[in-house]
Amino acid sequence: MEEFDTIIIGSGAGGLATAICLARAGQKVLVLEQHYVPGGWCHNFHIKGQRFCPGVHYVGLIDKGQSTSELYRGLGIANELVFFRMNKNAYEHCWIGDERIDMPAGINELHESLSLIFPKERKSLKKYLSLVQNVSDQIQLIPKMSGFWDNVTIPFRTKDMGRYGLFNLKRVIDWYIKDPLLKAVLNVQCGDHGLPPFKASFPVHCSVMSHYFDGAFYPMGGGGGIIKAMTNAVKKYGGQVRIKQNVKKILIRNKKATGVELQDGSQIFAKTIVSNADPSMTYLELVGKENISTTLLKKLAKTKYSVTSLILFLTLDMDVCKAGMDSGNIWMLKDKNIDQLYMELITKDILIDDEFPAAFISCTTLKDPTSFNGRYHNFEVVTFIDYESFNAFNTKEDHHGDMYNKYKKRIIEKMMNSVEKIIPGAKKNAVQMELGTPKTNEFYIQSTKGNVYGTEKTFKQIGPFSYKNKSEIENLFLCGASTLSHGVGGASYSGVETAARILNCKEKDLLVQDENQKLRIYDAEDNAAWPEWIFNKIADKKRRFKDVVNVMEQKSEA
Q: What is the pLDDT of residues 222-256, one digit of tens each?
A: 999 999 999 999 999 999 999 999 999 999 999 99
Q: Does 118 share its domain with 180?
A: yes
How distant is the alpha carbon of residue 119 from its chain centre? 34
In a domain, 94, yes or no: no
Structural domain containing residue 366: 307-445
Between residues 1 and 70, the one the model is more confident about: 70
**Mean pLDDT value across the chain:** 93
Residues 281 and 256 in one domain: yes
pLDDT for the residue 394:
67
| Residue where one domain finishes, among candidates 423, 445, 467 | 445
21 within domain boundaries: yes
**What per-residue confidence (pLDDT) applies to 145?**
52
Could you tell me the pLDDT band of residue 398, with boundaries at 50, 70 and 90? low
Residue 149: pLDDT band with limits 50, 70, 90: very low
> What integer pLDDT is reported at residue 43 of this predicted model?
96
CB 469 within 8 A of CB 478: yes
Last residue of a domain, one of 424, 445, 466: 445
Q: For residue 558, what pLDDT band results from cuts at 50, 70 and 90?
A: low
- Identify the band that residue 161 occupies on the pLDDT scale cut at 50, 70 and 90: confident
| Domains held by the chain: number | 4
Residue 240: CB atoms within 10 A of its CB come to: 17
Produce one character per residue of 164-196: b if its CB has 16 or more CB atoms within 10 Å, e if not: bbebbbbebbeebbebebbbbbbbbbbbbbbbb
- Assessment of whether the complete model's pTM goes beyond 0.85: yes
Averaged pLDDT, 472-489: 95
Clarify whether residues 314 and 378 are in a common domain. yes
Q: What is the pLDDT of residue 152?
A: 46
Are 28 and 115 contained in the same domain? no
Q: What's the confidence (pLDDT) of residue 143?
A: 59
Contacts of 268 (CB under 8 A, 6+ apart): 2, 3, 4, 7, 30, 32, 259, 260, 262
On whether both 311 and 437 belong to a single domain, the answer is: yes
Q: What is the pLDDT of residue 157?
A: 61
Average pLDDT, integer, range 455-468: 90
Which pLDDT value is given to residue 484? 86
Backbone angles phi, psi at 469, to 5 degrees: -65, -35
Q: What is the pLDDT of residue 453?
A: 95
Averaged over 447-473, what is the pLDDT? 93
Report if residue 179 sits inside a domain: yes
Strand duo 358-363 + 247-253: pairing? unpaired
CATH of the domain at 242: 3.50.50.60
Higher pLDDT: 156 or 414? It is: 414
Q: Has residue 99 been placed in a domain?
A: no
pLDDT (tens digit per residue) in 308-367 = 999 999 999 999 999 999 999 999 999 999 999 999 988 878 888 999 999 999 999 999
Domain endpoint, select from 418, 445, 472: 445
- Is 517 in contact with 73 (CB distance < 8 Å)? yes
288 pLDDT more than 50 = yes
Task: Determine contact, residues 73/65, Cβ cutoff 8 Å.
Answer: no
Q: Indicate whether 178 and 207 sit together in one domain.
A: yes
Same domain as 316, residue 276:
no
Are residue 366 and residue 273 in the same domain, yes or no? no
Q: Are residues 533 and 485 in the same domain?
A: no
pLDDT at 79 exceeding the cut of 90: yes
In a shared domain, residues 404 and 295: no
Could you tell me what percent of the chain has a pLDDT over 70? 95
Report if residue 520 sits inside a domain.
no
- The mean-pLDDT minimum among 263-267, 328-332, 516-520, 547-551 falls in 547-551
At 100 the pLDDT is 97
Whether 464 has a pLDDT exceeding 90, the answer reads no
* One domain, residues 406 and 327: yes
DSSP 467: P
% of residues, the chain, pLDDT over 90: 84
Q: Examine residue 477 and state whether it is found in any structural domain, yes or no.
A: yes
**Longest alpha-carbon distance in the chain:** 81
DSSP 451: -
Residue 535 within a domain: yes
- With a cut of 50, say whether residue 421 has pLDDT above it: yes
Residue 538 Cα to chain centre, angstroms: 27
Do residue 256 and residue 382 come from a single domain? no
pLDDT (mean) for 121-146: 86
Task: Look at residue 511 and tell me whether its pLDDT is greater than 80.
Answer: yes
Residue 191: inside a domain: no
Q: Which amino acid is at 68?
A: T
Q: Which amino acid is at 217?
A: F
How far is 424 from 421, CA to CA, in rounded Å? 6
